Amino acid sequence: MSERITRIAVATSRGRVKYSVTHLRAPGLSAERFAAWFENLVVVDDESAMNAACPDHYLLRGLPDGRQEVVETTGGSPAATRFLVDYRLTDDITAPVDPAYPVQIAGTALLDDGLVIGGVRHQFRDRDGALEALLSVQFPAAVPARNIHQHQWHLACEFSNWLTASAPFAAIAR
């Protein structure tokens, strides 16, 4: 989705949203250690690790103000979208918090002018020697169902690669 299409989707959705949700399980990894590893990628601006996780990524980088700049093809869209994720802002995220997943990475997706276009709520827990992930991205309701379903594959791709890359740090037994 281009920025123009994103703006149209937000306007026509009138506050309604849809979620793209994916579940992953990574044996031998710690939820807290993975979240710390992931948050550090943004803080230290490890663009290579962020970009390498998925071929849909054109740019993922941390900005000096703590936000993350993202340029990616979202949900199988033919056009890349540029947006920011602010992990300090979570009030506009309506993806439900699951108390069974105590570790959270959440943030609001917005355009440069502050227009909220969605958000992320990625939730993690440790269970039976494995990290379990409940990954959610919030989209405007006008986004076609096909794109929502395609974004599940995007989430599975990027997070499975990040989980693998985090293993030296996030392993339960180090």
Residue-wise pLDDT for 102-115, tens only, equals 999 999 999 999 99
Instruction: Place 46 in a pLDDT band, splitting at 50, 70 and 90.
Output: confident
Give residue 145's pLDDT: 95
Q: What is the 3-state secondary structure (H, E, C) of the chain?
A: CCHHHHHHHHHHHCCCEEEEEEEEEEECECHHHHHHHHHHHHHCCCHHHHHHCCCCEEEEEECCCCCEEEEECCCCCCCCEEEEEECCCCCCCCCCCCCCCCEEEEEEEECCCCCEEEEEEEEEEEECCEEEEEEEEEEECCCCHHHHHHHHHHHHHHHHHHHHHHHHHHECCC
Instruction: Report yes or no on 171 lying in a domain.
Output: no
Instruction: Report yes or no on 172 lying in a domain.
Output: no
Instruction: Write the pLDDT tens digit of every residue in 122-144.
Output: 999 999 999 999 999 999 999 99
φ/ψ of residue 124, rounded to 5: -135, 150
Instruction: Write the pLDDT tens digit of every residue in 60-88.
Output: 888 889 899 999 888 778 888 899 999 99
Instruction: Report yes or no on 155 lying in a domain.
Output: yes
Instruction: Report yes or no on 36 lying in a domain.
Output: yes
Q: What is the pTM of this model?
A: 0.93
Instruction: Report yes or no on 124 lying in a domain.
Output: yes
Q: What is the mean pLDDT of residues 145-164?
A: 95
Instruction: Place 45 in a pLDDT band, splitting at 50, 70 and 90.
Output: low
φ/ψ of residue 105, rounded to 5: -125, 110
Q: Would you say 162 and 135 are in contact if contact means Cβ atoms under 8 Å apart?
A: no
Domain count of the chain?
Answer: 1
Give residue 66's pLDDT: 87
Give residue 29's pLDDT: 98
Instruction: Report yes or no on 64 lying in a domain.
Output: yes
Tell me the CATH number at 71. Answer: 3.30.530.20
Domain ranges, residue 80: 3-165
Asked if pLDDT for residue 43 goes beyond 90, the answer is no
Instruction: Report yes or no on 52 lying in a domain.
Output: yes
